[in-house]
């Protein structure tokens, strides 16, 4: 009796376990169905490597958007990763536990603040500051990177802190017993032990940055050009889709789905590389 019940439950759980995969496939099918024939028609090279985006004239080059997405994400990581990891290390290794117990939840609240609020602060505080201090339109790559960098902080901090906390205490005690200072024990032992987890934290942060749409639309200026400086307006892939989806018909709409395909593939590649890196580390152990 128990045996069959348990078996039934096992099958049920297995079915549930495929929900995520099924959803992913559904999403892929629906996006690819619209986008791939379009890319085939326009031509791979003309779509990916042309800088000419004029849907009404039949030009669909998304090169500037690809560059912008990558640069904005990179910028966000330059802001977010060092700050986030430093914060996690400090909270976990240098501060008494009861203080961390107050500060960590406080920082996790940042994660709950909606992206549109960050975007709004970007528009009313950061962009005018950039415009008056450095010139240019203010709504720029710099503004987008700063806002996104702050937005990914909670993700990075929260996961990194958990990773560091999971490093066995024996590692710390061992290092300290050998006469290492706190900092030596951190960068020689603990960061190494937690490296794969921290990489995962940063990758998750990057995922959030590259996928963010509304905050970017608000602060990046959405100009489909290849930026010459960090003060130029840029348009990311996500922003392009969100801004034009409402007004797109026919080939233009398919082009936006094709951008979706590119985003999708970029993220798949990205994820695979990250997973491989993590796996390699574990294999090397």
Partner 1 sequence: MRIPPRNTQALAVALLGGATGLTLAILVFVIVFILGKGLPVLSLGFLLDNPQEMGKAGGIFPTLVGTLILPLAAIIIALPAGVGTAVYLSEYTVENPATRIIRFGTDCLAGIPSIIFGLFGFIFFVTTLKMGWCILSGALTLAIMVLPTIIRTSEEAIKAVPASYREVSCSLGATRWETVLKVVLPNALPGIVTGVMLSIGRCIGETAAVIFTAGASLRLPHSVFDSTRTMAVHFYILAREGISNENAFGTAAVLILSVLLVNSVSYWMMHRFISRRTK
Partner 2 sequence: MKFSIICIAVGACLSLMVCGCGRHAGTSLTVAGSTAFQPFAEKLAEQFMAKRPDVNITVQGGGSALGIQSARSGAAQIGMADLVELPPEASELLGVTVARDGIAIIVNPENTLTNLSLEQIRGIFQGAIQNWKEAGGSDQPIRVVSREAGSGTRASFETIIGGITLARKAIIQDSNGTIRETVANDRDAVGYLSHGLLNAKVKAIRADGVECTENEIVAGRYKLVRPVFLLSQPPSAGAVKDFIDYILSSEGQETIRRNGLLPAK
Binding residues for partner 2 restricted to 132-161, rule: CB under 8 A: 137-139
The helix or strand, by DSSP H or E, that contains position 54, with its residue range, turns out to be strand 53-54
Nearest approach, Cβ of residue 122 and partner 2 (Å): 12
Indicate whether 102 belongs to the interface with partner 1 (CB under 8 A).
no
CB of 67 or CB of 111, closer to partner 1:
111
Residue 175's CB: how many other CB atoms inside 10 A?
18
Which residues have a Cβ under 8 Å from the Cβ of 127 and sit 6 or more positions away?
Answer: 138, 139, 140, 143, 219
In the set 196, 221, 238, 259, which binds partner 2 (CB under 8 A)?
Answer: 221
Q: Is the dihedral of CA 198, 203, 205, 206 positive or negative?
A: positive
Stretch that binds partner 2, among 34-42, 49-57, 101-109, 263-271 (CB under 8 A): 49-57
Indicate whether 20 belongs to the interface with partner 1 (CB under 8 A).
yes
In the set 110, 242, 266, 278, which binds partner 2 (CB under 8 A)?
Answer: 242
In the set 67, 193, 251, 267, which binds partner 1 (CB under 8 A)?
Answer: 267
Per CB under 8 A, contacts with partner 1 among 24-43 are 24-27, 30-31, 34
Per CB under 8 A, contacts with partner 1 among 127-156 are 150, 153
Distance between the two ends of the chain, CA-based, in angstroms? 43
Nearest approach, Cβ of residue 140 and partner 2 (Å): 10
Nearest approach, Cβ of residue 120 and partner 1 (Å): 5
Q: What's the rounded Cα separation, in Å, for the pair 257 and 259?
A: 5
Indicate whether 196 belongs to the interface with partner 2 (CB under 8 A).
no
**Chain centroid to CA 233:** 20
In the set 183, 192, 247, 280, which binds partner 1 (CB under 8 A)?
Answer: 183
Q: Is 249 exposed, middle or buried (0-12, 13-18, 19+ CB in 10 A)?
A: exposed
With CB under 5 to 8 Å by kind, the binding choice for 174 among partner 2, partner 1, none is none
CB of 21 or CB of 170, closer to partner 1:
21
Residue 197's CB: how many other CB atoms inside 10 A?
17
Residues that bind partner 2 (CB under 8 A): 53-57, 123, 127-128, 131, 137-139, 217, 221-225, 232-233, 235, 242-250, 252-253
């Amino acid at each position: 009796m128990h045996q069959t019940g348990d078996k039934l439950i096992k099958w049920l759980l297995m079915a549930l376990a495929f929900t995520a995969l099924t959803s992913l496939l559904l999403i892929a099918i629906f996006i690819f169905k619209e986008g791939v024939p379009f890319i085939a028609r326009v031509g791979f090279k003309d779509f990916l490597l042309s800088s000419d985006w004029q849907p009404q004239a039949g030009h669909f080059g998304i090169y500037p958007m690809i560059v912008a997405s990558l640069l904005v994400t990179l910028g966000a990581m330059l802001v977010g990763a060092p700050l986030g990891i430093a914060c996690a290390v400090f909270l976990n290794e240098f501060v008494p536990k009861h203080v961390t117990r107050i500060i960590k939840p406080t920082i996790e609240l940042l994660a709950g603040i909606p992206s549109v609020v960050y975007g709004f602060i970007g528009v009313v505080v950061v962009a005018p500051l950039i415009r008056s201090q450095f010139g240019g339109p203010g709504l720029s790559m710099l503004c987008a990177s700063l806002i996104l960098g702050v937005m990914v902080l909670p993700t990075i901090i929260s996961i990194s802190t958990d990773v560091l906390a999971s490093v066995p205490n024996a590692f710390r005690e061992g290092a300290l017993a050998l006469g290492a200072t706190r900092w030596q024990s951190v960068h020689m032992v603990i960061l190494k032990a937690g490296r794969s987890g921290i990489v995962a934290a940063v990758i998750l942060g990057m995922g959030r940055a590259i996928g963010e749409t509304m905050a970017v639309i608000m602060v990046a200026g959405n100009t489909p050009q290849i930026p010459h400086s960090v003060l130029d307006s840029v348009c990311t892939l996500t922003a392009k889709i969100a801004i034009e989806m409402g007004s797109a018909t026919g080939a233009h709409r398919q082009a936006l789905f094709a951008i979706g395909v590119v985003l999708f593939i970029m993220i798949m590649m990205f994820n695979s590389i990250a997973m491989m890196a993590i796996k390699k580390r574990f294999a090397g152990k």
